[in-house]
């Protein structure tokens, strides 16, 4: 098994201009396979609110739920760095509460946390969290937890000024101590410009080809989540069809008596069988 990925590995990737991969996972067995596949960072994204729990937005998930899923993913992961998304309202009230909640994810097995936004308040939180030794991944561009304020799933950084604004936010995040920054839904030329002006790596979530890394939601990649498909997501599998056909086949087999078969049942020994008199 390859060595554990750490913040040092991630920075080396940037310095050596080597691309790395980030993928979400929410449960033990998926994390195990993703880890075995060699993914560098496994993210327990708050996207799990939508793709695994069926909420309409990511803002509905809380700290306790994120903690449970973090435990499951951490137990399945040996090689990848495990990062947990800090959910909406888990770092917004006081610094002390932010530190406490980030600490809960580390205790649950995460190697770091992701925090959305770069407002002065959030930068201050990030400084506190990194100062106590918790690696923080930043997230700018489109930030889903700000959906109500942004007013829709809108592409960010579409002009020269808007690109400079995101770069400014990213630089502040860098100064606050983040080890990497997700750029979400940004035109790829803007993302390239931002990436070239940062020391820490950028992770593209719909921000094109020139970031240092790519991230996808695993349910999109596996073809499991079908409520909608973001333009930037690539479907590598068709789990929806697999689940549908397997469940249909099972339903038919149960109803026609084909399941279970002789090989799938436990049998009594002769003596007990005679006593029970079943054939
Ligand atoms: O919640 C999530 O899964 C994310 C990534 C897609 C960046 O934030």
Q: What is the pLDDT of residues 23-35, one digit of tens each?
A: 999 999 999 999 9
Across 1-15, average pLDDT: 93
Q: State the CATH number of the domain containing residue 152.
A: 3.20.20.60
3-state secondary structure of 261: coil
Q: What is the dihedral of CA 40, 44, 47, 50, to 10 degrees?
A: 130
Token reading at 124: 């201050």
Does the structure show a pLDDT above 80 at 1?
no
Q: Which residues are catalytic?
A: 184
Instruction: Identify whether 1 is part of a domain.
Output: no
CB 141 within 8 Å of CB 116: no
Residue 140 CA, ligand 1 centroid: distance in Å: 11
User: CA 195 from chain center: how many Å?
Assistant: 21
* Best mutation site among 26, 44, 58 for ligand 1 pocket (most ligand atoms within 8 Å of CB): 58
Closest CA to 80 of 24, 137, 40: 40
Range of weakest confidence among 51-55, 112-116, 256-260, 274-278: 274-278
| Whether 52 and 110 share a structural domain | yes
Which structural domain, as residue segments, surrounds residue 266? Answer: 242-278
| Whether 31 and 122 share a structural domain | yes
Residues with CB under 6 A from ligand 1: 24, 43, 45-47, 85, 182, 205, 215, 217
User: What domain count does the chain have?
Assistant: 2
Q: Residue 216 pairs with which residues in a beta bridge? A: 23
Instruction: Identify whether 101 is part of a domain.
Output: yes
DSSP symbols for 208-223: -SSSSEEEE-HHHHTT
**pLDDT, tens digit (0-9, with 9 covering 90-100), for 113-170:** 999 999 999 999 999 999 999 999 999 999 999 999 999 999 999 999 999 999 999 9
Residue 34 CA, ligand 1 centroid: distance in Å: 16
User: CA 268 from chain center: how many Å?
Assistant: 48
């Amino acid at each position: 098994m390859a060595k554990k990925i750490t913040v040092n590995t991630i920075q080396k990737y940037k310095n050596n201009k080597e691309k790395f991969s980030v993928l979400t996972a929410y449960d033990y067995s998926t994390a195990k396979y993703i880890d075995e596949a060699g993914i560098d960072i496994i993210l327990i994204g708050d996207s799990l609110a939508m793709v695994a729990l069926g909420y309409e937005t990511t803002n509905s998930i809380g700290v306790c739920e994120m903690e449970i899923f973090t435990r499951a993913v951490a137990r399945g992961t040996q090689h990848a760095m495990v990062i947990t998304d800090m959910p909406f309202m888990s770092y917004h009230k006081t610094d002390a509460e932010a530190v406490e909640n980030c600490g809960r994810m580390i205790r649950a097995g995460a190697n770091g946390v992701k925090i959305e936004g770069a407002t002065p308040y959030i930068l201050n939180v990030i400084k506190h969290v990194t100062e106590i030794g918790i690696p923080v991944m930043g997230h700018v561009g489109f930030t889903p937890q700000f959906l109500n304020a942004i007013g829709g799933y809108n592409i960010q950084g579409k002009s020269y000024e808007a690109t400079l604004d995101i770069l400014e936010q990213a630089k502040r995040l860098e100064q606050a101590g983040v080890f990497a920054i997700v750029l979400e839904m940004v035109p790829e030329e803007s993302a390239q410009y931002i990436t070239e002006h940062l020391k820490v790596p950028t992770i593209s979530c719909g921000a094109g080809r020139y970031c240092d890394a790519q991230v996808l939601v695993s349910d999109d990649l596996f073809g499991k989540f079908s409520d909608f498909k973001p333009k930037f997501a690539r479907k590598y599998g068709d789990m929806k069809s697999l689940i549908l056909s397997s469940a249909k086949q099972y339903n038919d087999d149960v109803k026609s008596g084909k399941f279970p078969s002789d090989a799938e049942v436990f049998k009594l020994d002769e003596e007990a069988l005679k006593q029970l008199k079943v054939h």
